Structure 1
Amino acid sequence: MSPVSLSSISITILGSASAQPSSTRNHSSLALHLNGDVWLFDCGEATQHRIQKSNVKMGKIQKIFITHTHGDHIFGLIPLLASRLNGAGGMVNNADDTRLRSDAIQDSIPPLEIYGPLGTRAYIRTGLTYTYTNLGAPYIVHELHFPSDTPSEGYTSLPPHPAELPTGRNIPQVDGTWPEIFRDSIVSLSAAPILHSVPCVGYVLNELPVPGKMDPKEYIPHLKRTGAPMSVMSRLQQGESTVLSDGTILRGPPHRPGRKIVILGDTYDPSPIADLAFDADLLIHEATNAHLPGIDPNTKTEDTHESVRKRAMSRGHSTPQMAGLFAKRIRAKRLLLNHFSPRYAGNDDVDENAKKIMEGVSALAADEFGGPVICARDLMNLDVEARR
């Protein structure tokens, strides 16, 4: 990423299905574009196939964040690592195969960083080891540990894979969240637990305050009058002040708040992340099940909005209304619904029936939210505009 600021932030939906993929929706995954870098959130089965059809470049993926270890969110991780890190199949007890040696790893290449709950490290280590997958570049796994996690739980007796760097962190909660698990000069990323049927995590990306807009006409006459170099403008653009030779003090425009994006995993109640998520520019929230009488021909006659809500919650999931209520609670600016039941086709851009159903889903959320709602579709691209 640029060392100064982000010129663009955008989302590419790589998979928007729940449980089972369909002909129009792949398993869960989305790509977050931060200037030229890509961060993946979840990596369901066949994610790399979707990448090949998208605007995501495999070599640009720098970090992967797993929300939970259900298969529809993680089964695509091992094959994606093999592709991203120049993997190849190995052989058993073949000392002549240099790919089996740790000194064959190109450790001069920045490692791919993977974050996830307890078990993520063991899953990757086991998958790579027992498929004899050798990697040409390193990776690191950082685990987000819940208070209930015990030191031995979820770990494998297998030794680290040759490509696994030993610097992976086990990150404990601090006051119920994982604050700033990553931070650089441009963005920070925090996480918090959200309620699902298994340990699950939501992530909050914060763009750090960005330089304010400046009118050169306010500054250039002073620079010319005093013979100050035009390079002063770059410091002023960053919000700094400078004293000219005649004593004039020029102050750059104040910084503006950066963008905030909240990416939730599966959940029936994301309340633990609410404080971190407040005032989000974009909230990405699941809406697995919906009651759509008169719109969805598969609607059961005995169902009601309440019965569908209770059934969704019993399985750890949400309805569009639940997503809308949470978006309203945290005062989100936009709501993106995803993780839809296989019964809801994802070709609503070309199929009129699918369009009506997704419009119905969107309307249910909008009635509670009161703001703009978008339904995710595979390979959809969405820009997150800078704050004014």
Structure 2
Amino acid sequence: MLTSVNITFLGTASAQPSSTRNHSSLALRLNSDVWLFDCGEATQKQIQRSQVKMGKISKIFITHTHGDHIFGILPLMAGRLNGAGGMVDEAEEKRGAEGLDQPPLEIYGPLGTRAYIRNGLAYTHTHLGAPYVVHELLLPTDPLTGDHTTLPAHTSELVGRNILQSSSGTWDCIFADQLVSVSAATILHSVTCVGYVVVEAPVPGKIDPKLYIPHLKRTKAPMSLMRTLQNGDRVTLSDGMILTGPSRRPGRRIAILGDTFDPSPIAALAANVDLLVHEATNAHLPGIDPDTKSTDTYETVEMRARSHGHSTPQMAGAFATRIGAEKLVLNHFSARYAGDKQEGSVRIMDGIRALAEANFIGPVICAHDFMSFDIELRRVQEK
């Protein structure tokens, strides 16, 4: 069971950064491991200003290869993997050889992710002191073999998987261990874009000790047996009596979407998530945003957002309702919407949240850089 799940927004801007919002990236902490979702320019600098530990980053998931979502990955890799620009001396070579025995930094992304990283490392003459691997999520129309780049593999690059999309339009279980799994699906944008769903394995159900204590008192190790029951397992007593722990219940479910004007293809995977992270790039805020055009309407703003592959808060709220999300976090805001605590900025973000709430009855949060919170398990409903 995951004892701690935390999300930290490192960058919440779209297209270009501002003085209050960096390019896209968020960190998901699972116990002590950290997974990054997207890695826009200056993500490494944002990490240094946050509580996220660079050395704990074990996976990076790229939603799409637009620059505002991937330009920061090369410097982050150089920092995370003890990289060095230019020629390395013998000491650095020795450290590099030792580093290659470490678990690799795993990177997932659509076609082009591997080529971008390989080319960038090669032409900047970047040496890494530890290994990395890139797994590409391929569409049926993508090449099934080859590295999709003419350059040879980097000296620190391990052979990654080319993961073919299923007939249902998803990439099922691209990663799984005993605690958590990750699946993905395309979402509609101006280029190939991916949304990810992180699912915690079933967790122990709520146990009522009063049902078991009278029986466990007759044993030599009641506390040890109680822990076994708490895990949902069975215990056989010396007299043959069998005690069964409560059934396991669903773990946390988190959907993290990239840029999209229609995430319908991921709806089934993202059903009933505890947290949905959805972009809300553009909004119509008459009377709130002083830069609102008098010729605009809610319809024209949505039409313009869709034409660029993006969403409005209303669209995000509608999708959250459609999939039965527990909570919605709006992200990826236009540079015109500051992420500071100035009165005007707060009023605008309150207006954006209200637009989403018009289509979604659950909690809505507008993300800002360095916003961080724990994702709790849903409470067990009392009978």
Q: After superposition, where does 1:7-18 map in structure 2 within 5 Å?
A: 7-18=3-14
CA drift at 1:153: 8.7
Letter in 1 for 2:357: A
Alpha-carbon contact 2:97-2:129 (below 8 Å) kept: yes
- Choose the corresponding residue for 1:209, options 202, 207, 226: 202
What residue number does 1:309 align with?
Answer: 302
What residue number does 1:173 align with?
Answer: 165
Partner Cα separation in structure 2 for residue 335 and residue 103 of structure 1:
43
What residue number does 2:179 align with?
Answer: 186
CA RMSD of aligned residues (A): 1.7
What residue number does 2:244 align with?
Answer: 251
1:169-218 residue CA offsets vs partner (Å, 9 max, x unmatched): 00001121000000111111000000000000000011111001223333
CA drift at 1:98: 6.8
What residue number does 2:234 align with?
Answer: 241
Partner Cα separation in structure 2 for residue 108 and residue 32 of structure 1:
25
What residue number does 2:354 align with?
Answer: 363
Query: What secondary structure does 1:204 align onto?
Result: strand
What residue number does 2:256 align with?
Answer: 263
Letter in 1 for 2:360: F
CA drift at 1:104: 2.2
Shift of the 127–100 alpha-carbon distance from structure 1 to 2, 3 Å rule, reads farther
What residue number does 1:138 align with?
Answer: 131
Alpha-carbon contact 1:118-1:154 (below 8 Å) kept: no
Alpha-carbon contact 1:105-1:138 (below 8 Å) kept: no
Alpha-carbon contact 2:95-2:129 (below 8 Å) kept: no
Shift of the 153–295 alpha-carbon distance from structure 1 to 2, 3 Å rule, reads farther
* Structure 2: unaligned runs, 5 residues or longer: none
- Choose the corresponding residue for 1:342, options 311, 335, 351: 335
Letter in 2 for 1:382: F
Q: After superposition, where does 1:287-306 map in structure 2 within 5 Å?
A: 287-306=280-299
Alpha-carbon contact 1:228-1:244 (below 8 Å) kept: no
Q: Does 1:231 align with 2:213?
A: no
Alpha-carbon contact 1:102-1:162 (below 8 Å) kept: no
Shift of the 139–296 alpha-carbon distance from structure 1 to 2, 3 Å rule, reads same
CA drift at 1:225: 1.5
Partner Cα separation in structure 2 for residue 244 and residue 304 of structure 1:
70
What residue number does 1:148 align with?
Answer: 141
Letter in 2 for 1:55: Q
Q: After superposition, where does 1:313-332 map in structure 2 within 5 Å?
A: 313-332=306-325
What residue number does 2:47 align with?
Answer: 51
CA drift at 1:220: 3.0
Partner Cα separation in structure 2 for residue 362 and residue 119 of structure 1:
35
Aligned residues: 378
Alpha-carbon contact 1:282-1:333 (below 8 Å) kept: yes
What residue number does 1:112 align with?
Answer: 105
Normalised by the size of structure 2, how large is the TM-score?
0.95
Alpha-carbon contact 1:100-1:134 (below 8 Å) kept: no
Letter in 2 for 1:63: K
Q: Does 1:25 align with 2:21?
A: yes
Partner Cα separation in structure 2 for residue 105 and residue 203 of structure 1:
33
1:35-82 residue CA offsets vs partner (Å, 9 max, x unmatched): 111000000000011101111000010100000000000000000000
Mean Cα deviation higher: 18-27 or 155-164: 155-164
Give the fraction of aligned pairs with identical amino acids, expressed as a percent.
Answer: 68
Shift of the 223–316 alpha-carbon distance from structure 1 to 2, 3 Å rule, reads same
Query: What secondary structure does 1:225 align onto?
Result: coil
Partner Cα separation in structure 1 for residue 147 and residue 33 of structure 2:
31
Normalised by the size of structure 1, how large is the TM-score?
0.94
Letter in 2 for 1:365: A
1:222-279 residue CA offsets vs partner (Å, 9 max, x unmatched): 1221435532222211101111011221111111111110000000000000000010
1:336-366 residue CA offsets vs partner (Å, 9 max, x unmatched): 000000000000xx21100000000000000
Alpha-carbon contact 1:29-1:44 (below 8 Å) kept: yes
Query: What secondary structure does 2:172 align onto?
Result: strand
Partner Cα separation in structure 2 for residue 230 and residue 344 of structure 1:
55
Query: What secondary structure does 2:269 align onto?
Result: helix
Shift of the 149–55 alpha-carbon distance from structure 1 to 2, 3 Å rule, reads same
What residue number does 2:31 align with?
Answer: 35
Partner Cα separation in structure 2 for residue 198 and residue 230 of structure 1:
56
Letter in 2 for 1:280: V
Letter in 2 for 1:294: G
Q: Does 1:377 align with 2:368?
A: yes
Mean Cα deviation higher: 236-245 or 194-203: 236-245
Shift of the 297–7 alpha-carbon distance from structure 1 to 2, 3 Å rule, reads same
